[in-house]
Amino acid sequence: MRMHSVQSSRSSWSMPMQSHAQSPMQTTVADVISFDGIGLHSGRFVRVAIHPAAANTGILFRRIDVTESLQTIAAIPDNIRQARLCTRIVNDDGVGLETVEHIMAAFAGLGVDNAIVDIDGGEAPILDGSSLPVVEAINRVGIRQLGNRRRILVVTAPVSVEYGGGWAKLEPCDRLEIDAEIDFDDTAIGRQRFHYRHGVGTFERDLAAARTFCLMRDVAAMQNAGLALGGSLNNAVVVENGAILNEGGLRMEHEFVRHKILDCLGDLYLLGMTMHGRMTASRPGHAMCAKLIDTLWNSPACFQIIEDGAAAEHSDGYALPDVAAAAAV
């Protein structure tokens, strides 16, 4: 498994490594980024290319292994579908893509508003189990600022959901925050809590390197169900009877709950834009995040979308331009 930036005629030009998470202007990647790897659940080898995109494109995934007219899957609330142990998006033609959360978290964490992501399979590669390889690849080519102001979804009233013995709540806040707690019976994980406050450099510092994880006792059941077929100690933290099985142990304190927050951040970016609000959650997961996003999106009295200081109707945010025009930057 390897990851690299594509050589281009502009390879000598790049912006300094920096987060654009707090910029008022929309951004895109400065050049094409390519990487490959295996899908965590499918075990299949896939290739990915992230392309620059024009303002107001948003994040578009293209399944280049299917008919061209069916390829595009926009990262928006209406395309979220329930899936086991990952985030799944599906377009109106039924073409889907799984495990997009780590790429989406990297976009959210670095403040990338617009990109077209080509992939030649039905699941994004797991890489090392975190967002760090994607962050490093984006930082190598840089982030380019565009001429349009960023859209922000501002939570104006609380919404909450319950799912699978846990709960999650969104409340008004002047920035994005995620306060999450997990509780596992294996003592290597136990009860952990972390409060993430989104800002310049905080994603790289607090979340990007946190890896996905599982309990060894669950591996056989997952694989019998057709899941985790590409999982290994190279792309997940594996826990058994109070011990970390990975050589070198953990990368950081509370890596488990930090990864859960990374997943939440990536899932929330499926709102199609940056969110200002505080998410508080107990035992969060992808299905819970999907339910929370759906509840918020269908509660228009609980949020506003701000652009250039003015509120807009929430349905206006997803009038996507033609893909070919969006790529012409």
| CA 26 to each of CA 21, 52, 85, 113, 115: distance values in angstroms, whole numbers, following the listed order | 10, 12, 31, 6, 11
Q: Kindly give the pairing relationship between strand 152-155 and strand 59-63.
A: unpaired
* CB-CB neighbours of 195 under 10 Å: 13
The one-character DSSP state at 315 is G
* Residues designated as active site: 286
Query: What are the backbone dihedrals phi and psi of residue 98, each rounded to the nearest 5 degrees, phi first?
Result: -115, 160
At CA 164, angle to CA 107 and CA 236, rounded to 5?
A: 50
Q: Would you mind telling me the total number of residues written for the chain in this entry? A: 329
Which residues on adjacent β-strands are paired with residue 45? 38
Residue type, 274: T
In sequence order, what are the residues at sequence separation of 6 or more whose Cβ sits closer than 8 angstroms to the Cβ of residue 130? 102, 208, 209, 210, 211, 212, 259, 262
Distance CA 262, CA 251 (A): 14
Token pair, residue 217, equals 């006792």
Is 275 within 8 Å of 155 (Cβ atoms)?
Answer: yes
